[in-house]
C-alpha cells in the first residue's frame, strides 16, 4: 500500500514519527510538508525524510488562500505521480482537498475542534477522524462528519510526542 502523510507543524512531525516508523515497515510512505523553518530543522534532527512543497500564507486570509492554492497546484503533481492508496494528515486543508479530488481515502487526526476554518475545509472531505477521547465527538460532527466515522483514542496528542523513547528518527536520508 502507498501512503501519503502531510505534516505541517513540529507537533505533527513528532506525533507522526511512530506512525511513519510502523507503517514504513510494510508500506511505501511519502511524507510532505510546507516550508517551515522549525519543521525543516526538526525533520533533520529526527532524520525524517520530508518533501517540502509550498508555504503558509501568514495571517492574512487572502495570502493564506493564495499560498494554499499554490501548494495544492504544486503538490498535486507529486501526489498523482506517487498514486497513494491512503492519505494521513492532521486535518491538512491541502491534503483533504487533493485526496478528495483524486479519490484517495483520507484519515485525519485532530485535537483542535476550535480551529473553525480548518475544520470546515477538512472534516467534510475525510473518511475517518481520530480524536483524543477527552474531546467529545459532538465537537466535530457539527462540521459534517458522522459520529460513526470518528474514532476516539485513549491519549492526548502531547503524551504521544513526549513519550517517544527513540531519538534516532525513522527514515534515513
Q: Give the count of domains, the chain.
A: 1
| CATH number of the domain encompassing residue 99 | 3.40.50.2000
Residue 113 counted as domain residue: yes
Residue 133 counted as domain residue: yes
pTM over 0.85: yes
Residue 167 counted as domain residue: no
Residue 32 counted as domain residue: yes
In degrees and rounded to multiples of 5, residue 33 shows phi and psi of: -155, 175
Residue 171 counted as domain residue: no
As given in the structure block, the three cell numbers for residue 72 are 495544492
Predicted local confidence at residue 171, as pLDDT:
47
171 and 31 in contact (C-beta within 8 Å)? yes
Residue 170 counted as domain residue: no
Residue 48 counted as domain residue: yes
Residue 99 counted as domain residue: yes
Predicted local confidence at residue 158, as pLDDT:
56
Alpha-carbon distance of 34 to 64, in angstroms, equals 13
Q: How many CB atoms lie within 10 A of CB 100?
A: 16
> Structural domain of residue 126, as residue ranges?
2-162
**H helix intervals, 47-110:** 61-82, 93-102
Predicted local confidence at residue 157, as pLDDT:
52
Coil, strand, or helix at residue 166?
A: coil
Q: How many CB atoms lie within 10 A of CB 17?
A: 23
Residue carrying C-alpha cell 480524536: 131
Q: What is the pLDDT along the chain (173 residues), one digit of tens a residue?
A: 999 999 999 999 999 999 999 999 999 999 999 988 899 999 999 999 999 999 888 888 999 999 999 999 999 999 999 999 999 999 999 999 999 999 999 999 999 999 999 999 999 999 999 999 999 999 999 999 999 999 999 876 555 555 555 544 444 33
Amino acid at each position: 500500500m502507498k501512503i501519503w502523510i502531510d505534516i505541517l507543524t513540529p507537533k505533527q512531525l513528532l506525533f507522526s514519527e511512530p506512525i511513519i516508523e510502523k507503517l514504513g515497515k510494510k508500506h511505501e510512505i511519502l511524507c510532505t510538508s510546507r516550508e517551515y523553518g522549525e519543521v525543516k530543522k526538526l525533520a533533520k534532527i529526527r532524520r525524517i525524510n520530508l518533501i517540502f512543497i509550498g508555504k503558509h500564507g501568514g495571517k492574512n486570509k487572502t495570502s493564506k488562500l493564495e499560498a494554499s492554492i499554490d501548494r495544492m497546484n504544486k503538490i498535486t503533481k507529486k501526489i498523482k505521480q506517487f498514486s497513494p492508496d491512503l492519505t494521513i494528515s492532521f486535518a491538512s486543508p491541502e491534503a483533504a482537498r487533493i485526496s478528495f479530488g483524486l479519490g484517495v481515502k483520507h484519515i485525519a487526526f485532530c485535537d483542535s475542534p476550535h480551529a473553525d476554518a480548518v475544520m470546515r475545509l477538512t472534516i467534510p472531505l475525510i473518511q475517518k477522524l481520530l480524536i483524543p477521547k477527552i474531546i467529545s465527538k459532538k465537537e466535530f460532527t457539527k462540521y459534517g462528519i458522522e459520529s460513526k466515522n470518528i474514532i476516539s483514542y485513549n491519549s492526548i496528542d502531547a503524551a504521544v510526542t513526549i513519550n517517544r523513547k527513540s531519538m534516532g528518527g525513522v527514515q534515513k536520508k
